Structure 1
C-alpha cells in the first residue's frame, strides 16, 4: 500500500473518475442501510464487495461506550466517468437517503446509519501528472486519497481483498 500514489482530494476535484474504492460504515441498523447503499451504488456501475467486518468504535471509552460499526469496502467501476466532486456529492446524498443525521447533542451517542468515504480513485485515461504509471503492483494506476491514509485495519483488509478481484 505504501507504494500507491497519494493525492489530496481537492487537487483532483474536477478530474473524471472511472473507478473508486469506498469504505462504508454503519453503527445503527446496518442490516437495513448497508444493503440500501450497495443497491444504490450498483445503479452507478459494477460493484464488488469485500467481507463486512464488525468493529468497535475507536472513539469509544469505558466512560462513554458506543455501538460497534459494520464496515465494508466497495469497488465501484462507474458506467460513466464522473468528477470526484460529483461523486462526493452523490455519496453525501446517498448518506442522506439512508437518513444520516450529522447533528447530535453534546454527549449524545452518535447513530450513523451510513458513512461513505472515498479511499481510492482511478482516473480516466488522460495524460497529466496524476495519470503516470504507479509503481504499485497491488493496484496500478490507483490514487489513494491522502486524507484517508494510512487506512484503518478493516479498510486495508477490505482493499487487499478487493485488489485480488480487480486485477
Structure 2
C-alpha cells in the first residue's frame, strides 16, 4: 500500500531558498512537477519509470492544462502535468539531483533549442518544487543537529506554485496513513 507523506503544507510558513544556496546540501526527498506538451502518453510513464530507480515514488493525478504562454497569435499544445513525491534511496546533493533530472529529460529526447516564433515541444520537463534535506547527525549526541533540517524547503524560483502544482502537492500530502 502506498502511504502518503506527511508534512506541514502551510507553504507560506515553509522556508524558501534559492536553489543556488542549497546546492551542496544532501537531499532525502523531493516534490517534483513533471510536464510534457508532446507525446505525454509516452514520456510521462518513461520519466516515472526512471524516477522510480532513484527511490520510492508517489504520484498525483495527471492534469491537462493549457500552456499559459500561448496567445491567440501563437497557439501552443496543452501540457500534461503531474506531481511526484520521491523519497530517495540514497540522499544526494541538490546539485547532483538537478544534474540527474537534466539527464532524465535528455533520455526523454528533450530538446532545449527552438527557433524564434516556433512552438516549443517539450517531451519532458522535471522541476523541483520542494526539497527535504537529509537529517544530519551530531557525532557526539547522535541526535539531529536541528529540528529544521527535517523541514521541507520551498524552491524560491518556483514559488508561488501554479494551480496544478498546488493541487498535485495537496493530493500527495492529503492523508497520512
Check whether TM > 0.5. yes
Q: Quote the Cα distance in structure 2 between the aligned partners of 1:69 and 1:43.
A: 25
SS of the residue aligned with 2:131?
A: strand
Task: Name 2:49's counterpart in structure 1.
Answer: 39
For structure 1, list consecutive stretches of 5 or more residues without a partner in the other structure: 135-139
Look up the match of 2:76.
66
Matched, 1:144 2:154: yes
Matched residue SS, 2:128: strand
Alpha-carbon distance between aligned partners in 2 of 1:113 and 1:96, rounded to the nearest angstrom: 9
TM-score, reference length from structure 2 = 0.86
Structure 2 unaligned runs (5+)?
A: 1-10, 138-145
Cα-to-partner distance string for 1:3-39 (whole Å, 9 max, x where unaligned)? 1111111111011100000000000000000000000
1:75 to 72, 85, 105: 85
Name the SS of the counterpart of 2:101 in structure 1: helix
CA radius of gyration, larger in? 2
TM-score, with normalisation over the residues of structure 1? 0.91
- Asked whether 1:133 is paired with 2:148, we answer yes
